[in-house]
């Protein structure tokens, strides 16, 4: 294919410039897009070194130019510019491939400095993003990183159990504590999440610092608020006998710095710090095999 159609070689940037300068007929553009699509899929799918960034621009420009040419043929009396369609196509393909529509819009605007394409570029990039996400949840880069990680040796999760790193007596309050007590506790311990327990010490949930901020400006309402009114009952938690690897997985997707450690009977035993967990992983990796 490279011998017959040498334009498929390289990143294709020079071909994109020729496309934008209307240097090819629509038949040649269709051939180039088809060949580049096959060549990129074959190269990337086989694990060969190379990227998908500029090939996305290549195919987006070609597909947009073909679409614009078709529109121009249907409405010959109009003022349709196929090159504008090519620019929008570049942004749409890039947004779909990278799952980064805002980046695609900013990049195309920086390349063209044209305000005329911003609105259609925004629309097409968002449509392309959601279409691609609906068909395949991960981007092309996610697939590449997943394959790369599979070739690397295992990072090694920290060995041990949660109770080995657990800190006892975390900041907590009763489920019937009034708002002024909750606010004073937050001021005294400087945490983002305050744990809530019942009269028997069983874990009920947590109160987030940002959840009490709306009540700070309304003293009349705050007088009637107690902990059970603003507690997050589904706050994530870990058990003392869980492995540290399982605890690390529990932190994924959370902004919380600490997780409560809850026993089998539901009692709050302590808290596990994300920092302590990561330090344990670093120390383990320093040890000789």
Q: Would you place residue 147 in the very low, low, confident or very high pLDDT band (cuts 50, 70, 90)?
A: low
Residue 51 pLDDT exceeds 80: no
Task: Answer for the pair 170, 260: CB distance below 8 angstroms, yes or no.
Answer: yes
Task: Answer for the pair 242, 161: CB distance below 8 angstroms, yes or no.
Answer: yes
pLDDT of residue 153: 47
| Percent of the chain clearing pLDDT 90 (strictly above) | 21
Task: Answer for the pair 194, 181: CB distance below 8 angstroms, yes or no.
Answer: no
Q: What confidence tens digit (pLDDT) does each residue in 177-198 have? A: 988 888 888 888 888 899 999 9
Residue located via tokens 């344990």: 280
pTM, full prediction: 0.50
State how far the alpha carbon of 47 is from the alpha carbons of 136, 151, 163, 213, in Å.
19, 11, 43, 51
Q: What confidence tens digit (pLDDT) does each residue in 159-180 have? A: 678 888 899 999 999 999 988 8
Nearest by Cα to 164 from 27, 17, 33, 284 = 284
Q: Please list the alpha-helical segments (H only) found in the chain.
A: 13-20, 26-45, 53-74, 82-98, 101-112, 118-135, 140-151, 179-189, 209-216, 219-222, 227-230, 244-250, 274-286
How many whole angstroms separate alpha carbon 208 and alpha carbon 240?
23
Residue 156 pLDDT exceeds 70: no
State how far the alpha carbon of 20 is from the alpha carbons of 60, 69, 109, 119, 286, in Å.
11, 13, 15, 19, 54
Q: DSSP code of 168?
A: E
User: Of 220 and 273, which is predicted with more confidence?
Assistant: 273
Token pair in block for residue 176: 């019937």
Q: What confidence tens digit (pLDDT) does each residue in 230-267 have? A: 899 989 999 999 988 888 888 877 788 899 999 999 99
Q: Would you place residue 78 in the very low, low, confident or very high pLDDT band (cuts 50, 70, 90)?
A: low
Q: What confidence tens digit (pLDDT) does each residue in 99-133 have? A: 888 988 898 888 878 778 889 899 999 999 999 88
How many whole angstroms separate alpha carbon 265 and alpha carbon 253?
27
How many whole angstroms separate alpha carbon 179 and alpha carbon 229?
10
Token pair in block for residue 138: 């991960």
Residue 287 pLDDT exceeds 70: no
Nearest by Cα to 25 from 109, 71, 82, 104 = 82
pLDDT of residue 157: 58
HEC-encoded secondary structure of 65-105:
HHHHHHHHHHCCCCCCCHHHHHHHHHHHHHHHHHCCHHHHH
Task: Answer for the pair 173, 196: CB distance below 8 angstroms, yes or no.
Answer: yes
**Buried-exposed string 114-145: b where 16+ CB fall within 10 A, e elsewhere:** eeebeeebbebbbebbeebeeeeeebbeeeee
How many whole angstroms separate alpha carbon 83 and alpha carbon 90?
11
């Amino acid at each position: 294919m490279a011998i017959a159609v040498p334009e498929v070689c390289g990143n294709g940037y020079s071909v994109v410039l020729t496309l934008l300068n209307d240097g090819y007929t629509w038949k040649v553009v269709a051939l180039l897009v088809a060949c580049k699509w096959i060549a990129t899929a074959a190269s990337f799918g086989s694990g060969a070194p190379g990227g998908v960034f500029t090939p996305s621009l290549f195919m987006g420009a070609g597909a947009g130019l073909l679409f614009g040419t078709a529109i121009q043929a249907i409405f010959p009396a109009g003022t349709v510019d196929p090159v504008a369609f090519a620019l929008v196509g570049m942004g749409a393909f890039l947004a779909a491939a990278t799952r980064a529509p805002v980046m695609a819009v900013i990049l195309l605007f920086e390349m063209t400095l044209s305000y005329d394409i911003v609105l259609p570029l925004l629309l097409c990039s968002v449509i392309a993003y959601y279409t691609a996400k609906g068909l395949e949840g991960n981007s092309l880069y996610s697939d590449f990183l997943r394959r790369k990680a599979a070739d690397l040796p295992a990072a090694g999760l920290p060995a041990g159990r949660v109770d080995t790193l657990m800190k006892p007596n975390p900041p907590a309050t009763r489920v019937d504590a009034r708002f002024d007590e909750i606010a004073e506790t937050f001021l005294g311990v400087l945490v983002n999440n305050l744990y809530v327990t019942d009269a028997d010490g069983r874990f009920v949930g947590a109160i987030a610092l940002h959840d009490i901020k709306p009540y700070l400006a309304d003293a009349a309402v705050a007088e009637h608020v107690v902990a059970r009114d603003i507690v997050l009952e589904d706050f994530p938690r870990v058990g003392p006998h869980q492995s540290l690897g399982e605890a690390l997985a529990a932190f994924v997707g959370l902004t919380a710095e600490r997780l409560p450690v809850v026993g089998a009977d539901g009692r709050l035993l302590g808290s596990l710090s994300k920092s302590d967990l990561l330090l344990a992983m670093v120390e383990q990796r320093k040890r000789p095999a």
